Each structure stands twice: as structure tokens, then as C-alpha cells.
Amino acid sequence: MENKVRKGLEGVVAAETAISYIDGEQGELIYRGHHAKELAINEGFESACHLLWYGDLPDKNKLGKIKQEFRNGRQLPDYVKKIIQLLPLETSMMSVIRTCVSAMGDKERAWPPSVTEAIHLTAVIPVMIAMRQRVLEGKDMIAPHPTLDHVANYLYMLTGNEPSKAHVKALDAYFVLTMEHGMNASTFTSRVVTSSQSDMVSAVTGAIGTMKGPLHGGAPTEVTSMLESVGMKENAEKWLRQRLENGEKLMGFGHRIYKTKDPRAEALKEVTRGLTAEDTWLDLAAHVEETAIRLLEEYKPGRKLYTNVEFYAAAVLRAVSMPNSLFTPTFTAARVAGWTAHVIEQANDNRIYRPQSLYTGDKPVS
């Protein structure tokens, strides 16, 4: 039988999963039977993590328990704090995360991988990011807050100030909507590593290395630049129209998978709609989106170019004063929940990945 090469494994089904489902034609993203959009609006990050890891949404008691487990899991070993301080300042944040996570591997080599490990890794990655950012700013590292929830604690550790409820709600929704997205490159990496019966730390380290690549974890900084260039709502139509007349793209519109409205963008739009009165940046983003959609239909009729998640991700991350250099690391801090869910699922029905390759080199002359 002739082997057909599918570059990038496009269209190849590599695993069965009950974790998430994506329908690009219908604009659906589902986590274990629940629309991700509804989870982002009505649930918090810890609740959505419980769903991915355990298969159900927690009741009040279970939610309280997992929130406390997150708080307990935020403590970093002293040697990891030393690594954060001693790595050269020019080391990228993604490389810092990868190195620190890898350094935690010796004590977490259990098989099969567990939810306890998943909680710990998900809890500590934002701590690593925040502590390293403080080092880069020449400031003292801040200890985790004893009572704040996961996303609020991340913002607190970056600044030393308790964040506003509006900012926590917006970033929490972002975390829920980016925590999982099917068999993407980093998730596949985590499952491949796990398939060899390696530990969860190694699987997450590999996934971080994949996310570091610009083709996968590229940050929505171009959207931020666009919004900054627009500056004020009064400038939006003139600025956007000029871009379109010059044949240039509007960043944050259109998506490779979703051929209709991106459900993640729709959810972030709904969450931030009620916050625009509290944040001028979100108010600007909402106006730019509305204007851009109208102009795209005028200049590119029938193309169905809708807002993608990067547009509102950029709006949310900028609104909470997240520096551009932390966009991909923050994406990583959310996605680790999905990676660890896939690691556990892979281990529960495991077979080592061993695809074939088609040899195209020379052969010995007889």
C-alpha cells in the first residue's frame, strides 16, 4: 500500500479525546459538553479546570477545595526562585518558564500522572512569570497572596496591588477561553511525551518549548499596535478605511479554523461589554471592532471576516497593563490546564506514538 505523506499531520486523527471539541464551520468550542463561551461568562478559571481534569463542574464545596489547592500549590522551591534570579536578563520569558518547570521534574515523576500534579503546575507557572518580571524590572519579588483566586493573584504578584474586579473578570475569561483548543501543536507534544510514560513535568516542558515558537504562541501584539495607532474612537473610521484602501490587513480579523464568528472572541466581547465604562481601552477596542466589521463588509463583501480571539485577547491583556513581552507567557499560563488534562487522558489509554516517515534520500548502488 502506498504511503501518503500528510505534512504537519494535517487531517490525521491521532487520538480520541473527551476533553474538547471544535467546529470551525459552526463556530463552536466545547469543553466536556459545555460551551467554552458560557464557561467564560458564568464560571471562573478554577471551575473550568475542575471540568477539564475531573469531567464535571464543581459544586460549592468542590470549588472551595480546588481553589485552596491552587493557593497551596503556588509555593515555589527556593532553588527555583534562585534560577529565576540568576538566569541572564536577556533570557526570554518563555525560556525562563521552560527552565524552571523542567527543574521541578525530579520530585514529580509519578506514573500515572495525577490531577494533584496538574494543579501544582498550573498554580506555579504564573508565579514564575510574575517573579521573573519583577526581577527584570529591578524590583523585589512578591510572595503569592494567601486569599486571592488564581487570576487575581497573578495580577497582584505582577504589581503588588490588588487588581480591580473588572480586570480580574476580563483576564479570567481570557484564561478560560485559551486553556484548551484541541490537538494543537503544543498539546500534541504533551501527549507524545506522555506516551513514552515520561512524567507530567517533562510533557509540560515539551509543550512550553512548542508554544515558544512564533507559529504557535505568537502574541497578538500587532492588534495592540493597531489599537494604539488608532488612539481615539474619533480616529477609528479614517484610520481603518485608509488601511483597507491601501490593501493592508486589519489585525485580529479572520481565522484559519473558524469560518464564522470565533466563539472565544464572542465570549470576550460579551464579558468586556459590561466593563467598557470602567476601562477606556476596552471601550476603544469595542468601537474599533464595530467599525472594522462594517468596513470589512463594505470593502470585502461576502468574505465573512469576523473578529478572532486575538483581537479581544490584545484588548484584555492591554487593559490589565500586561506588557507585550508577557502576552505569550500569559497564554502559556492558561493553556497548561489543557495540556495537563491531555496528559492525564493520554496516560489513561496509552500507546506510544510511532508514526512512519517516507525515506527520500539516496540508496546504496548495488
Which residue ranges form the domains of the chain, and what is each CATH number?
20-214+325-348 (1.10.580.10), 221-319 (1.10.230.10)
Sign, CA dihedral 335-336-339-345, equals: negative
310 assigned to active site: yes
pLDDT of residue 309: 82
pLDDT of residue 1: 42
pTM for this model (two decimals): 0.90
pLDDT of residue 276: 64
Active site residue: 50, 167, 181, 255, which one? Answer: 255
**Among 80, 126, 128, 85, CA closest to 105:** 80
310-330: b (≥16 Cβ within 10 Å) or e:
bbbbbbbbbbbebeeebbbbb
Query: In the beta sheet, which residues pair with residue 20?
Result: 31
Active site residue: 117, 180, 310, 345, which one? Answer: 310
Query: In the beta sheet, which residues pair with residue 253?
Result: 307
Local mean pLDDT, 10-residue blocks, the chain (366 residues): 74 92 87 96 96 98 98 96 98 97 76 94 98 98 97 98 92 96 95 96 97 78 87 95 92 73 84 72 88 92 82 86 92 98 97 92 90
**Is the separation of the CB atoms in 132 and 332 below 8 Å?**
no
Q: How far is CA 10 from the centre of its chain?
A: 22
Residue holding cell 462594517?
294
Other CB atoms within a 10 A radius of the CB of residue 99 amount to 17
pLDDT of residue 256: 64
The Cα 48–Cα 32 span in angstroms is 10
Q: How far is CA 246 from the centre of its chain?
A: 33
What is the arrangement of strands in the sheet containing 34-35, beginning at the earlier edge strand?
Answer: 20-23, 28-31, 34-35
255 assigned to active site: yes
In angstroms, the Cα distances linking 126 to 129, 335, 355 are 5, 11, 35
Residue 22, H or E segment: strand 20-23
